[in-house]
Structure 1
Amino acid sequence: MPLALAAAFGAHAASTTRYLIISENAKQIGEQVVERGDDGLTKVAFSYKDNGRGPDLAEQFRLGADGTMTEYSVKGNSTFGAVVDEHFTRKGDQAEWTSTSEKGNKTVSGPAAYLPLNGSFEVESIAIAALAAAPEGKLPLLPSGTLSQRVLDSVEVTGPDGRKQTVRLLAQTGVGLSPSFYWATSGDKPRLFGVIIPGFANMLEQGWQAAAPELAARQKAAESKMLADVAARLQHPLTGLTVVRNARVFDSEKAVVGPASDIYVLRGRITAVLPAGSPVREADNSIDAGGRIVLPGLFDLHAHVDRWSGALDMSTGVTSVRDMGNDNKQLQAMLDETAAGRLLAPQVVPAGFLEGESPFSANLGFVIKDLPAAQSAIDWYAERGYPQLKIYNSFPKAILKDTIAYAHQRGMRVSGHIPAGLRAQDALDAGYDEIQHINQVLLNFLVKPDTETRNLNRFVLPSEKVADLDFNSKPVKDFVALLAKKQISIDPTLATFAFLKQRDGDMNEPYAAVASHMPPDVARGFSVGTMKIDGDATLKRYEKSYAKMVQFVGIMYKAGVPIVAGTDDIAGFTLHSELALLVKAGLTPAQALQVATRNGARYTRTSNDRGSIVAGKLADLVLVDGDPTKNIEDVRKVSAVITRGFLIYPAEIDAALGIAPFVKDAPSLLKSDAPVTAGESGGNEGARARIGASALRHH
C-alpha cells in the first residue's frame, strides 16, 4: 500500500460530527450524528420527520485501506415503517451482502463501494473521500455500476466563531436517474460538509447553517448550466410549418381513433387537421407518422415537480403536469426556466399548497395559523394564476369552510387531503371540489373524530380495514352517489399506493413493466418494501384491501364520478402504470386514455388549448407504436413527442439515462435541407451526467 494511503486511512482519531436537517421554512426536522471511534469503527444515527413520517437508522461500519467499507450494517425503520436490517462484508476479494429484500455475493478486485438500499448521508461522505483518491474520479459499485464525481464549484464559508473553510460542490453520477449534489470539505481527505435539497431541506454541519443560502444559490446556478445544456441538446426546434403526415388521431371526446390525418403545426399550435394526403403548400418540415396513433399530450394530475424530473415526463408523452405542492419560489423559478426553453420539462399547472401548523406539518407552500393568513396565501396564489388550491393534513378544520369559500371567490378550485379530525364527507360539505388519493377517500368510512391521520395511520388503517368494507352498504352507496351528484373529481393515485401491499423483496406491481428497461441500481430499488408487513396473514389482508381500492375506483367511475390520472411518484412511467390500473378497475383502455387527456385538461381548466387534437389548440402530440386503445401497455411505446414547438425523441433521453428503449424506430423529421432522425442530434454520452429525475413522496 502506498505511504500516502497508509497515512490517509491507517490512523484513527476519535471524533463526532453532528449535522442538522433544516426544512425550507427553517424548522429542524432531523439530524445525523457521526461518531468515529479510535478503533476504526464509525457509528451513525440518522433520523428525520416530515409530513408525519420519516426514517430512523442506526449504522456502523469500518473502512479498508482504500477508503471503502469492509464491514457495514444498518438497522431501523424506513420512511413508511418498513424494517431495515442490512449487512455487508468484504474479506479480500469476496464481498457479501444481505437485507430484508435481497442477498448476494461477488468476487471483486481493487476498490469498490457498497451501495446500501437504506442508508444515511454518511455513505456519501465515504464515497466522496474514496472517489477523491480513485483514478479518474471513478469507483466501481457493489452490487453493480460505477460512481463518478466531478467538482462544479468552490466557495469559502464562515461558521462558528468566525472560522472559515473552503467547501466544494460535487456532482456524483451513476446512481439513480439524476445527478446527486454534495458539498464537501476541501483538502486531501474530503468528507461531506452538507446537502442542499432545493425546495425541501438542507443538512449542514452544526454551526454552519448560515452558509445555506449561499450554497443553495451556487448549487442552483451550477444545476441551471447543466439543465440548459440538456434542453439545448434534446429539444429540436420546429421552425416554420410542420406537417405530421398519416397520423391516426385519438379523439379524446369520443374515446375512439379516427381515420388517417395530416396535422399541421406552426409556432407550437395546431393550425389544421386534414385528411391524410391533402395537398401541402410549402411546409418547412415533415414527419411521417407511418400510421401511428397520435394522442393528445398526456396529463399527470398529481406531481411534485423538480428540475430533473421533466426528462422522464417528456420521454413518456406527459406534456402537462399539475404540481400538487412545492416550495413556492422553487416552482416559480422552474416555470420561468421552462417558458424560456432552458428546462426540458412539461408545462406545469400549479396548485397552491396550504397547510396548518402542527408537529406533523408538511413544509411546503404556506403553513398558516388562522383565516387571515390563509386568505393572504390564497391571494398570493391567485395573483400568480394558480387555478387550484390544495389543502393538507394539518389544516385547521375550524376555518376550512371559510377558506374554501374565499378560494372559490378568487376563482380557484379546492382539493386536498382530508384535514385531521374530519371525514371526506365533511370536506365535501365544506366545499371541496376534488379529493387526492384513494386512501383519503376510503378513510371516510374508517375514522372517528379523534383518529390521528397525520401519521402512518393514514396508510395502515386502509390497509387493515378496507378488506372488510362493504361497498354495497348504504353509507358507501350514498357517498358515491353524492360524489357523482356534485361531480367531485377523484385523484386516486392507485399506482403510488401499490406499496401498501408490497412485501419486502417482491417487485412493486407498477414497476414490473419497466424494471427490465432500467439501470440495475434503479431496478434494484423496485423490490424494496416500504410498509411494515408482519407475516403472510397480514400480507393477504393488505393485498385484499388494495384490490378493493382498485375496485372502488371502478365503482366510482361507473357511477359517474370524474376520475383523473395522477402519480405522486416516478415521473412519466408511473402515469402509464396508473392508466393500466384504471383498466384493471374496469375502464376500457380508450376510457383510461380519455382520463389522461380530456379529463386532464378539464380539471386543470386548460381545455381551451389542451386535451384534444383540434385546430387552434397547442400542438401537444404523442406518437405511439401499437394501439393503446386496445392494449393500454402500448402507451409506453412513445416514439416521438411534440410540445412547446419542439420535437423530442424519447430514444435520445433513454440513451442518456441508460434506459433500454421502449421502441426500436422513431419517425424522422424531414427538413427542407436535410433529415434529422433520433440520435443524430441531441444524443451524447455525457448527457447521462446531466439529466434525470427524482421523486419525493407526499401522499
Structure 2
Amino acid sequence: MKRALALSLAMILASPAYAAETLRYVALVDNGKEAGHQVVTTGDDGVTHVDYIFKDNGRGPELKEDYQLAADGTFTRYHVTGTTTFGAPVDESFGRDGNKTWWKSTSDKGEQDVAGTALYSPLGGTPAGFSVAFAALAKRPDGKLPLIPSGTLSTRKVAEAEVTNGSQTRKVDLLAITGVGLAPTFAWATQGEPSQGESPRLFAFIFPGFVQLIEDGWASNAAALETRQKQAEAETLLAFQQRLAHPLKGTTLIRNARVFDSEHATLGAASDVLVRDGRIVSVGKAGKGKADNVIDAGGRVLLPGMFDMHGHLGRWDGGLNIATGVTTVRDMGNDNATLQQIIAEEKAGTLLSTHIVPAGFIEGESEMSARNGFVIKNLDEAKKAVDWYAAHGYPQIKIYNSFPKDILRETTAYAHSKGMRVSGHIPAFLRAQDAVGQGYDEIQHINQVMLNFLVDDKTDTRTLQRFYLPAEKVADLDFDSKPVQDFIAMLAKKQIAIDPTLSTFEFIRQRAGEVAESYAPVADHMPPDIQRGLKVAEMKIPDEATAARYNKSYLKMVEFVGRMYKAGVPIVAGTDSIPGFTVQSELEWYVRAGMTPAQVLQIATWNGAKYSRTLNDRGSITPGKLSDLVLVDGDPTRNISDIRKVALVLKGDTAYYPSEIFDAMGIRPFAQPVKAAAP
C-alpha cells in the first residue's frame, strides 16, 4: 500500500504546471444549424470540466464531466453525470491510486490492478475524451494505449487538412481510431508541438451526414473537412471490401440445399440451385453441365436474402448486415448527399454493402425537427421534396414528427400521383388513424401505432412523450375493446403495412446493468467493450414498480403485433438499431407474438421485397431473380434462432463468408463457413 501511495504521489508531482484554458466546440446539423455545444475548461489546478449538450429530433444527451490527469496523460480521477438521449441518468466515476483502479457506473462496477499506463474508457463520456486519448497516445513510443477495463487503443493518420479562421491558419490530422467499437472511428486532431509542450487534441468530430462537432470559430471549415473525411474513409472501406468479397465468375452450382419457398412459407426437399452472373438460372435437379464453382450445401437451408426494412445506413454497416444474411436494406431517413454517395459506392462495388432501397425523408420545420432529408415549411416545399425523391428513383417517402398536419393529405396525394408509397411517424397532434385516413400506406414503430389510443390533439409527440407514454400506458390497454378492434380492422382492410421495430423498442424496459433480451444471444460473441456497452440503459426507470409496468407494456406491444398479423395486417421486419443482429432478434419477437418461424421468414424475405417494390428481382429463390442467397447451418423454419448460424451469403455474383467478416470485426463467429470451390 505504501508503494502504491508513493507511486500515486510521484505521478501527481511529476504532472506539469497547468494554465487555465477554455475551449468551446459547436455541434452543427443540417448545413450549419447549431444543435449543441461542448465547453472544456481546464483550471490552473489541473482539473478539467466539460459541459456537453446535443439536441436533435427533440432528444439528446446532456453531460457534465470532470477529470484530472497523470503525467502520462491518463485519468487519475474521472466523473460524469447527466442524462442519456432518452433521459436515463448517467453517473459514472473512475479512480486510480498507484496500481489500483476502480470504476462504477449505473450499468457496472469493477476493480483492476494495472501496472503502468492505461486509460479508462468511459461508457457515458463526452467527445472531450478524444483529446485525452490523443495526448496520452502521443506519449507512447509504440503508438498503443492499453484501456481499462480491457482493450488497446491505437490511431493512424489517414489525411491532413489546412483550416482557416480569419487570419489564422492551422493544419489538422484525420486519425482513424481502432480498439473500441466494431469499426474504426474517425476524428480530426490538432498536430501539437511537443517541443513547446503542446499535445494533440480534438479539433473536430464529424459523423458524416448527421453532426459536425468543431472548435468554435472554425465552423466554416466543417463541410470541407467532412468531404475530405469521406474520401479518406473510402480508401479504408475499399480495402475492407476487397479483402472480404469473393467474386464468383461464370456459373455457380449450389448442390443439395433445402430451398425455402418464401411465397408460400414452406421448406422444400434438397435440390440444386444454379446461378450465373448474379442471377438464378434454375432450381431443381442439376443438369450434367459443368459449373465454374460448386458449393456443397450439405442439406442446409437456403433462404432468399433477407430485408432490413428500417435502416439508417452508414458506410460501415454493410459488414454486419451481410454477415447476418441481410442483402437489402430500406433506408428510412438519411442525409440525402450521404445516402446518394453510399448508393453510388455500392453500385460501383467499392463498398461492402447490401442493396439499398431509399425512402425520402420529409420533416417539418420546428425547434424539435430531425435534420435529415428535406425540412419544409409549406406545401410547395413539400411537393418540391417529393419531386426530388421521385426524380432520384425513391419508391416512397417517409414523413416525420414535425410535419405540418394541415398539409398532410395534399402531400400524400401528391406523392401517390408520382407513384410513390407514403409512410412515417405520425405527425404531432394527430393519431395513427388520422394519418391512415389522410393517405399513409405504412406506419413506422410500434410506439407510433400504440399512441393512437394514448394521445389527443394537444399531446406533443415530438418530445420524449412518444416513448414514455406507451411505456406507462399500454399496460392498461384493453385490446379486445371496440376502439382497438376497429383500428386493427381498418389497418387490415386498407392493408396498411406496419414496421414494428420491436427489438429496438425493448429499450423501454431495459434496466441499467442488464443486457436486453434482444441482444443476449449475441453478447458473448462481442468484443469486451461492446459487451459492456450493451448493459447501458436509455430510459429513466426509477423503481421496481415502474420497471414492472414498462415490462408489461412492452410485452403487450409484442402481443399487439401478433394480433395485427392474425387479423391480416401486413408486417415488415426492420431494425433502426444495430445492423443485422437486430433483424435476427426482431424475427424471434415475431415468433413470440404467435407467428410460426416459417411465417416470420416469409416476412423477412417476401414481404420485404413486396413492400419495398423489389419483388420483381428479389425476395424469393426464383429463376431470373438476383442470386441473393443465404445458407444457414440449421433449420430456422423450425427454430427461428438458427437464423444466426449463417454459413454463406451470396449477393449477386459475390460470395461472403460471415466468419471472415466477424473475425475482421472482432466478433466470434456463429457458424463455420461453407465455401465455393472449383468442381
Contact 1:501 1:542 (C-alpha < 8 Å) held by counterparts: yes
For residues 294 and 269 of structure 2, what CA distance do their matches in structure 1 show?
A: 19
Deviation per residue, 1:206-237 (Å, 9 max, x gap): 00011112211111111000111111111111
Deviation per residue, 1:441-485 (Å, 9 max, x gap): 010000010101001000000000000000010000000000000
Partner of 1:48: 54
Deviation per residue, 1:280-321 (Å, 9 max, x gap): 312111111111100000000000000001100010000000
Q: 1:259: Cα distance to partner?
A: 1.2
Find 2:280's aligned residue among 270, 276, 282.
270
Q: 1:8: Cα distance to partner?
A: 9.8
For residues 515 and 35 of structure 1, what CA distance do their matches in structure 2 show?
A: 37
Find 1:182's aligned residue among 184, 187, 198.
187
For residues 158 and 617 of structure 1, what CA distance do their matches in structure 2 show?
A: 52
User: Structure 1 counterpart of 2:66, which letter?
Assistant: Q
Extract unaligned runs of 5+ from structure 1: 673-699
Matched, 1:428 2:436: yes
For residues 358 and 565 of structure 1, what CA distance do their matches in structure 2 show?
A: 30
Matched, 1:392 2:400: yes
Partner of 2:673: 666
Partner of 2:514: 506
Deviation per residue, 1:48-104 (Å, 9 max, x gap): 100110011000000001000000000110111000011000010000000111110
Contact 2:12 2:70 (C-alpha < 8 Å) held by counterparts: no
Partner of 1:327: 335
For residues 531 and 494 of structure 2, what CA distance do their matches in structure 1 show?
A: 42
Partner of 1:117: 123
Find 1:34's aligned residue among 26, 37, 40.
40
Q: 1:154: Cα distance to partner?
A: 1.5
Partner of 1:298: 306
Name the SS of the counterpart of 1:79 in structure 2. Answer: coil
Matched, 1:259 2:269: yes
User: Structure 2 counterpart of 1:176, which letter?
Assistant: G
User: Structure 2 counterpart of 1:183, which letter?
Assistant: W
Name the SS of the counterpart of 1:670 in structure 2. Answer: coil
Partner of 1:412: 420
For residues 11 and 632 of structure 1, what CA distance do their matches in structure 2 show?
A: 61
Partner of 1:490: 498
Name the SS of the counterpart of 1:476 in structure 2. Answer: helix
Matched, 1:403 2:408: no
Deviation per residue, 1:539-593 (Å, 9 max, x gap): 0000000000000000000000000000000000000000000001011111110
Name the SS of the counterpart of 1:51 in structure 2. Answer: coil
Find 2:288's aligned residue among 265, 280, 302.
280
Matched, 1:354 2:362: yes
Q: 1:274: Cα distance to partner?
A: 1.8
For residues 459 and 30 of structure 2, what CA distance do their matches in structure 1 show?
A: 29
Q: 1:9: Cα distance to partner?
A: 4.7
Give the TM-score, by structure 2 length. Answer: 0.97
Alpha-carbon spacing, 1:219–1:9, altered in 2? closer, same or farther (3 Å): farther
Find 1:79's aligned residue among 61, 85, 88.
85
Q: Which stretches of structure 1, 4 residues or more, deviate above 6 A after TM superposition?
A: 5-8
Partner of 2:112: 106
Contact 1:18 1:31 (C-alpha < 8 Å) held by counterparts: yes
Contact 1:25 1:363 (C-alpha < 8 Å) held by counterparts: no
Find 1:193's aligned residue among 198, 203, 212.
203
For residues 588 and 151 of structure 1, what CA distance do their matches in structure 2 show?
A: 51
Partner of 1:144: 150
Contact 1:24 1:202 (C-alpha < 8 Å) held by counterparts: no
For residues 496 and 455 of structure 2, what CA distance do their matches in structure 1 show?
A: 21
User: Structure 2 counterpart of 1:571, which letter?
Assistant: P
Matched, 1:60 2:66: yes
For residues 294 and 24 of structure 1, what CA distance do their matches in structure 2 show?
A: 43
Find 2:133's aligned residue among 108, 127, 146.
127
Contact 2:259 2:268 (C-alpha < 8 Å) held by counterparts: yes
Name the SS of the counterpart of 1:225 in structure 2. Answer: helix
User: Structure 2 counterpart of 1:671, which letter?
Assistant: A
Extract unaligned runs of 5+ from structure 2: 1-6
For residues 580 and 573 of structure 1, what CA distance do their matches in structure 2 show?
A: 11
Name the SS of the counterpart of 1:355 in structure 2. Answer: strand
User: What pairs with 1:213-232 in structure 2 (closer than 5 Å)?
Assistant: 213-232=223-242
Contact 2:648 2:675 (C-alpha < 8 Å) held by counterparts: no
User: Structure 1 counterpart of 2:678, which letter?
Assistant: K
Find 2:176's aligned residue among 158, 167, 171.
171
For residues 182 and 512 of structure 1, what CA distance do their matches in structure 2 show?
A: 31
Partner of 1:532: 540
Q: 1:24: Cα distance to partner?
A: 3.0
Deviation per residue, 1:116-160 (Å, 9 max, x gap): 11111011110011111112211011111111111111122111x
Find 1:211's aligned residue among 197, 218, 221.
221
Partner of 2:318: 310
Bigger mean CA deviation after superposition, 149-158 or 287-296? 149-158
Partner of 2:3: none
Matched, 1:15 2:14: no
Alpha-carbon spacing, 1:6–1:43, altered in 2? closer, same or farther (3 Å): closer
Contact 2:657 2:675 (C-alpha < 8 Å) held by counterparts: no
Q: 1:7: Cα distance to partner?
A: 12
Matched, 1:442 2:440: no
For residues 39 and 7 of structure 1, what CA distance do their matches in structure 2 show?
A: 12
Matched, 1:162 2:167: yes
Name the SS of the counterpart of 1:57 in structure 2. Answer: strand
Find 1:244's aligned residue among 249, 254, 259.
254
Q: 1:668: Cα distance to partner?
A: 2.5
User: Structure 2 counterpart of 1:411, which letter?
Assistant: G
Bigger mean CA deviation after superposition, 279-288 or 29-38? 279-288
User: Structure 1 counterpart of 2:506, which letter?
Assistant: A
Q: 1:6: Cα distance to partner?
A: 10
RMSD: 1.2
Identical residues among aligned pairs (%): 60
Alpha-carbon spacing, 1:158–1:534, altered in 2? closer, same or farther (3 Å): same
For residues 214 and 452 of structure 1, what CA distance do their matches in structure 2 show?
A: 37
User: Structure 1 counterpart of 2:441, which letter?
Assistant: D
Contact 2:99 2:113 (C-alpha < 8 Å) held by counterparts: yes
For residues 32 and 419 of structure 2, what CA distance do their matches in structure 1 show?
A: 31
Give the TM-score, by structure 1 length. Answer: 0.94
For residues 222 and 12 of structure 2, what CA distance do their matches in structure 1 show?
A: 34
